[in-house]
Amino acid sequence: MERLDKRLGALCAMPIVALLTLSFLAPLCVVAAFSIMPEKVFSLANVPDFSAYAEIFRQGYWRSLCWSLGMAFAATLCLLVLCWPLAFAMAKVFKKFTLVLTIGVVMTLFVSENIRMFGWVLTLMKGGLVEGYLRHWFGVGFDGVLYNVPIIVFGLVYVYFPFMLFPLAQGISMVPDDARQAAADLGASRTRIFFEIDLPLAAPGIMVGSLLTFVLAAGALAESKLLGGQAVIVIADEIETAFTYGQNWPLGSALSMVLITLIGGLAIWAVSRVDLDTIMGGKR
């Protein structure tokens, strides 16, 4: 019976597997093929040319990659610290009010990311909303806080807040209240309960939230362009420039493949250490 269920499951999964193959693997193969073509020669008939990959290190594109990964890591760490109290409250304290918070956070996703970024630009720029009110009411002003690395990280934190909050709340909800109460009855401090019970048992939610946030932030572009004013050039900007203004498709494809390989490797490593059955409620 179990063998029959597996066969039926595999048969039912075939349409989605075929769809994912066409929608994900096929474009990926095309990008990989372009990355080994000579510049402005759209043919695989020639000997594979890996000069685009060498160009990444020769021209210093690796610096943009490091900036992207570094700011993505910083944003992920900030979000983990910021979201934990709210996620804990949503999972353990607020009860019915959790639905209101969920709707409020999700509604921010209904507005385009670029529009929200422009809103922050108008708010924080010199002569903008904040500086204008300060100058009007208190007679003081400032030069603006835009166009630097910290404001880019702030933009990443703001945009990807929901992607950390909800997986984290799901992970915390899997921590049994009985375990926390038993530890407290045995004399464990709140700090010890946090590090020895809450963090280990909520690890799947932490891993999923961190992975989602890091992957999305590493490929983000609007934050560095609008809030950062290109104070630093991120890898997504380099890819866009190579494909558009530079018309160097092999270089753009090579940059894309390097980013995909790094992020994909990290994702596979992280997912292999997450119990998805527990997260989906299959096991307790």
Q: Tens digit of pLDDT for each residue in 214-227?
A: 999 999 988 998 88
The residue among 235, 201, 238 whose CA lies nearest residue 217 is 235
Q: Is 221 exposed, middle or buried (0-12, 13-18, 19+ CB in 10 A)?
A: middle
Confidence (pTM): 0.85
Helix (H, G, I), strand (E, B) or coil at 162: helix
Q: Tens digit of pLDDT for each residue in 57-106?
A: 888 888 999 999 999 999 999 999 999 999 999 888 887 788 888 888 88
Look up the CATH architecture of domain 58-279.
Orthogonal Bundle (1.10)
- Contact between 52 and 253 under an 8 Å Cβ cutoff? The reply is yes
The CB density around residue 227, as the number of other CB atoms within 10 Å, is: 26
Domain locations in the chain as residue ranges:
58-279
Cα gap 61→121, rounded to integer Å: 27
Cα gap 234→55, rounded to integer Å: 17
